Structure 1
């Protein structure tokens, strides 16, 4: 019976971790800026406005704005369901935002295996290449801007 107790404890720990919302402050700056960009893009889509001028102003350049918008499109095309986006002013992340932030953090650290673990069982493997390339494009644009 020790195995069933340890697996029950592991299951409880997993459920507790899932119940605790992730925070923006737990992620790196590129991931946080992109999650805020996603939220801004969603707000602009709701009112049928182009988000690029506002993104460029907030992110510091048209290239970063364009890469953010392109990555948002890649995510939307590869995600298996509609992306859950949090409130613009909130530090808490939806599960989708937390997954996206984890992907970006892993790519920022050149951790391809971690990137794939972040989406394993959620995104089909053949679709991860598009996301990886999009995230690297965003990271490169961020690096060029500083």
Structure 2
């Protein structure tokens, strides 16, 4: 990729991030993941374990553990603190928008789109762990 192509790509990305996206436009899987990140942040601030609440929401301890595992993986591989909005907020942060793109790519089993969504942001050596955790969580959360 040439320098001008790279500059144009990142300029377009920054323009998209400047316009907050609405959670109402997400698939159910994407909405589940964004809301799980928000709830995990609230529970972390309160010093509580989010897995029981997630298990009740998903009616599955396995799904709750997979989602919590994804949250833990994101916290490890993300280059900066993952920013979330309050659960009641309809607008998404740029991090939440990226997460929604990762969920879409994992659900479609499109590894290239997944890598492209975080290229230049998350180190390439960390993509595998993030992809596997996302794929696992997406497979276990309710689809409808």
| TM-score with structure 1 setting the length | 0.85
Task: Find the aligned partners of 1:15 and 1:142 in 2 and give their Cα distance.
Answer: 30
Alignment RMSD (CA, Å)? 2.2
Task: Report the 3-state secondary structure (helix = DSSP H, G, I; strand = E; otherwise coil) of the residue aligned with 1:115.
Answer: helix
Preserved contact between residue 52 and residue 65 of structure 1 (Cα < 8 Å): yes
- Unaligned runs of 5+ residues in structure 1 are 1-6
Preserved contact between residue 71 and residue 131 of structure 1 (Cα < 8 Å): yes
User: Could you tell me which residue of structure 2 aligns to residue 83 of structure 1?
Assistant: 82
Preserved contact between residue 63 and residue 141 of structure 1 (Cα < 8 Å): yes
User: Could you tell me which residue of structure 1 aligns to residue 32 of structure 2?
Assistant: 33
Q: How does 1:1-146 map to 2 (within 5 A)?
A: 16-142=15-141
- Unaligned runs of 5+ residues in structure 2 are 1-6
Q: How many residues align?
A: 137
Bigger shift: residues 115-124 or 16-25: 16-25
The runs of 4+ residues in structure 1 deviating greater than 4 Å are 13-16
Q: Deviations over 1:101-124 (max 9, x none)?
A: 100111101111111111011001
